Structure 1
């Protein structure tokens, strides 16, 4: 058991709930933020489903990334903060600022509260979106050294993640006063769904393929990472001294297309493939390269395969 308290922002999110679960399993005391305390029942249900019935080490604070209230209370007496909360829209907003402002200002609210509370380190969830959308991928392997150009013509979500992460690093440099920051940049997050809390990847990829909504494979590929590995990399980045001031690209080995996911489902879960459309392979030039070597070497992080992560999503029972 540990006497350290960790704040996890956005406890009702997919990454948030898995991170809370892992922290409790490891003996940490956990505080989590919810936009409304009525939402905490979803957290309780998910933890109970996962075998955590004693919730004495978990508490809740009402706080919203768009407002100042609650953040000082949330960060108080915490050794670490895992800032995993961030909006991910299934439909792009008409005004990109609907995403950019909450992502940027919310991160700064969390960092200011953490600094005020004397928190040792904040681990912030950014995204591959902040890494991989401004460099020609041909012949290039994406790493933590790469940055998306937020002034390029990119989608609102991509711009919001890039701006928010850069704002966080600038804050630490100029106003951090000893507060440490580490950033995790995950790719598409899949994996076991608990308590009916599921990721955008389920609706946008798994469900869309299985119910036949996707009728052709878009000409792009994407990285995959299991949510359990995302929770683990946050905790490793939180406690290991050498992770201070570092970014970590969180991805399984390799990338996939929609066609690849469809073929995996047909091969491994044939009974769920009945309504799937017949997709055609995409051009091989769309397969990009990215490296998780830094996380493997520095954090001793060894993620599950992309196939295991995808099948774990597929095998989850989603409440109607």
Structure 2
């Protein structure tokens, strides 16, 4: 499912974090089964499209009141809100924990938006349940088949082509999704560069994917390169094509920064990490996952 495009300051906020793969599995010589699978996939696709629209409604709220929402997002690291709670409850808890920092007008704006989000989230939850059921019916092995990094193709910020040997040449590839205006994303860039140096000795690599640089957007790439240079981050960053499987996957990430691990075969391993690795707890959790992937790779070689 698509996630809301928020910067995650100091908490691994995951109110509606569900990555799903929607792929049919055709059964040779069984037309009814194939038709049924297609219908299931279509149903999941319809649900996903509606969820996209609902997320856009939420994002529009954030855009309409950007100043006050950016102020609240910037305080998430100091929030006493429950990150495991319902998303609207989490936002309300964050506001309550920091209400002395807001004017009455700002509180009224945020409160009204949060209640609107609460209604949107209820619709999303119902649609996610429908889509998840459809995904299960599409076949237990569909996630493996639908890995977005199979047949991978991208371009780095210097214009060099990159293919799926990116993954096959590494015991583990740490893929970090970010965007230039995300302060927590920028805040972890130097730490990611340090991690890349550490991973080289382990047979791995860090790769950044800036979601504003799709389709070789030259202006966005130039802006991203400036930010990377300012943080002394020299590891590879890639531009994806928006209509590729990897591009579609990246477009579905709306909580930033998000970091995932990809094995030598291009499969996503473990759970996504939300929040910057400049937070020690997040760094330790990521390193534990990395070591597991490296150990598994060694055992299989």
Greater RCO, CA 8 A, separation 6+: 2
**What TM-score bracket applies, with the shorter chain setting the length?**
under 0.3
Please state which structure has a larger fraction of its residues in helix.
2
Q: Which has the larger radius of gyration?
A: 2
